[in-house]
Copies of this chain bind each other. A is one copy, B any other.
Amino acid sequence: MPADLPDDAFPTTNGSLNRKLRMALVGGGSGSFIGRVHATGAVLDNRAEIVAGALSSNPERAKKSAPSYAIPEDRAYTSIHELVEKELARPEDDRIDFVSIATPNHTHFEIAKTAAEAGFNVVCDKPMTFDYAQAEELVKVVEGTPGVFALMHNYTGYPLIRQAREMCLNGDLGEINAIRSNYIQGWLRDAIEQEDQKQASWRTDPSKSGAAGAFGDIATHAYNIGRFMTGCLPEEISCNLKAFVEGRKLDDYGHAVVRYQNGALGTVTASQISHGHENNLYVEIDGTKASLVWRQENPNELWVRQNGQPAKLYTRDPNAPYLSALAAGSCRLPSGHPEGFFEAFGNVYRAAFDAMIARSEGTSFEGRSETTRDTLYPNVYDGAEGMLFVTKSVESSEQNGAWVSLKNDYARR
């Protein structure tokens, strides 16, 4: 066993709140992948517990799935509306604190709006909404309601992604010239949506997934990671989307070129038809002083290179003197003890929880900075920007890859 973790390695209590935060899960009925991940990531630090859910709009399935989350029968709801109504009817000290949304894309908006307007905090899976219009409306909803709104761009929770961001922002890389983001998968190589595979069915259905397929599902992550790491602000985009699998209604492959306001050139590639590629998200950043490479499938490593020096392998290590306090503090285990996908989710939740505590204490937890994003967790503005990215990608692709503006007021470093 390796070096000590500092006593305060990571917070495992909610400070002045002095109790666990109470979570309601929306979505996550049996067979749901992402619902289970939310449920696991949210409680990883013992700071939250699931007490209610609307796991499915199918009443039978909703009830049947509840025990697997230890949700009591009387809090196993079948809609966000029932959930909100009945939770609000409970005494304040027995009411949920936040709603986690893990449903197909087309339902996010209504659920998020309903929960936010009821005063609850919200953690929403991405993409934030079905389309950009909804996203803009949701921004207004969130701005007009008191709660925390966190968007689950889970990859931003990886310690070494955060390290990369801090290195970029503090100038370790110099000026950023190039951002190459790729998200390569193979699971939609065949038309499995025609065989009623649940994950595939809604993701390839324009009425549920939105205007884009792979670009909405995964290119948004790839683009977001590049934006999060570098803080470069977008200027315009040229995009080409393809549906290679016969009969598929949405893109399963796509490529975009992004020009950033500082002159950097970015590329975003997304594939769901690359045989045998599992979840191959990788990002390469070139700065005038150094370059970075990170791969999601081995997230505990970050390559840092400078001409004339040996390539350096930064590892996820809470004790590494070369890691920033934020990156080091995003680790739960000593180096060499692999962390993974759940922990990254847990880290986004951790930041959202800190904001929820701040809110409960009456402290300001958010405020739009003119220059830098103001929350560590991806927020509603990141969500709106993500939807703009999808919308503009589709728009460009429909115009044969013409340049389309990506400028927007939501984007911050």
Contact = CB atoms under 8 A, between A and B. Distances in A.
A288 B340 contact: no
A244 interface: yes
A166 to B, nearest CB: 15
Interface stretch (A32-40, A85-93, A114-122, A352-360): A32-40
A310 B312 contact: yes
A255 B179 CA distance: 12
Contacts of A269: 180, 267
A276 B309 contact: yes
A336 interface: yes
Interface stretch (A129-137, A296-304, A365-373, A378-386): A296-304
Interface stretch (A141-149, A197-205, A226-234): A197-205
A220 to B, nearest CB: 12
Counting chain B CB atoms within 10 Å of each CB, which of A180, A297, A311, A321 scores highest?
Answer: A311
A313 interface: yes
Contacts of A274: 178, 284, 286, 291, 305
Contacts of A259: 240
A239 to B, nearest CB: 10
A279 interface: yes
Nearest to A189: B307
B275 A203 contact: no
A39 B280 CA distance: 31
A12 interface: yes
A376 B141 CA distance: 52
A265 B279 contact: no
B265 A253 contact: yes
Contacts of A278: 2, 315, 317, 334-337
Interface stretch (A51-59, A66-74, A76-84, A387-395): A66-74
A337 B336 contact: no
A294 B185 CA distance: 17
Contacts of A340: 333, 337-340, 343
A247 interface: no
Nearest to A3: B187
Interface in A1-23: 1-7, 12-13, 18, 20
**Oligomeric state, in number of copies?**
4
A207 interface: no
B311 A276 contact: yes
Contacts of A20: 70
A167 interface: no
A197 to B, nearest CB: 6
Contacts of A182: 180
A403 interface: yes
Contact of A40 (B2, B5, B242, B332): B332
B317 A305 contact: no
Contacts of A336: 185, 277-280, 296-297
Given A2-B279, A177-B242, A238-B401, 4 more contacts: A4-B31, A186-B305, A271-B286, A310-B312
State the 6 A-B residue pairs at the shortest beta-carbon distance, nearest first.
Answer: A276-B305, A278-B336, A279-B336, A338-B340, A310-B312, A275-B291
5 contacts: A2-B33, A187-B307, A190-B307, A278-B334, A333-B341
